[in-house]
Amino acid sequence: MNRPRLTPSVIPNLFTAINMFCGFLSILSASEENYYYAAWLIFTAAIFDALDGMVARLTNSASELGVELDSLSDIVSFGAAPSFLLYKTFFYSMGTWGIIISAFPLIAGGFRLARFNIQLVGFSKSFFLGLPIPSSALTIASFILAFYNDGFSKPISDFITPMILVLSFLMVSNIRYETLPKISVKSIKEKPYHFIFLIFAVVLVAFMYVKGLFLAFVFMIVIGIFRHIYKLITSTSNN
């Protein structure tokens, strides 16, 4: 009897499914007011999100099915999960406006993923157009881990709505964010500032833990904005 053969794409797709499951668990945890656990599950989902792409490249098994499945998983883990976590920890007190604003990361992330899929040529990119939805979700999750303590203090709570509006705008913007570099001597020589930033981020996390993690994501986002402004200014002056 002929048994069905497992194709190489099964393994990366399994990682993608685990990513989606982590997003579902995050939503369940937030509904039960386990907010720190919910935030860490978003980070866990991001690990499996990175692994599925890595394994797909190693096994040369990237496929259109994998791309679509990855986007569906991302909208759960990095769109619905952080939006629901925001609603449960802060925006629930704002009524209808709270529901609308907390949904922004989910809605903007959905548009971001749809645009990525229709613009994808092949299965690798040197940059992302707009802030990647996992980066937005991890910024939100690290913010919850760093500053939530049975609520948010007054100065911190004033920062939440602007942060969500900025993150949502950046996801649908035309600002370029470069992909994570491959760790190699060639990559270090070509783009040394990438590795300087990675070392800086590790130092921040080592000394400040979750607050350092949040600041590392903020720095990454701000660097992308300043690089975009710099390119606009230089291109204008050259013309």
* Domain contains 199: no
Neighbours of 209 (CB within 10 A): 12
| Residue 37 structure tokens | 């656990």
Q: How many domains does the chain have?
A: 1
Determine the structural domain holding residue 64 and report its residue range.
10-179
Whole-number Cα distances in Å, 98 to 88, 102, 115 = 10, 6, 26
Q: Does some domain include residue 222?
A: no
Q: Which are the contacts of 151, defined by CB distance < 8 A and separation ≥ 6?
A: 89, 157
In a domain, residue 186? The reply is no
Residue 187 lies inside a defined structural domain of this protein? no
pLDDT score for 194: 64
- Which tokens sit at 129? 């157009």
Closest alpha carbon to 79 in 112, 44, 53: 112
Domain membership of residue 97 (yes or no) is yes
State pLDDT tens for residues 224-236. Answer: 899 888 888 887 7
Longest CA pairwise span in the chain (Å): 71
CA distance 97 to 100: 5
* Domain assignment present for 235: no
We report the CATH number of the domain holding residue 72 as: 1.20.120.1760
**Is 131 within the bounds of a domain?**
yes
CA distance 126 to 191: 12
pTM to 2 decimal places: 0.87
* H/E segment holding residue 125: none
What is the rounded CA–CA span in Å between residue 163 and residue 150? 20
3-state secondary structure of 126: coil
In a domain, 220, yes or no: no
Nearest to 72 by CA among 26, 123, 110: 110
For 167-224, write each residue's pLDDT tens digit: 999 999 989 887 765 555 555 566 666 667 677 777 777 777 899 999 999 999 998 8
Residue 95 predicted with pLDDT over 90:
yes
Q: How confident is the model at residue 1 (pLDDT cuts 50, 70, 90)?
A: very low
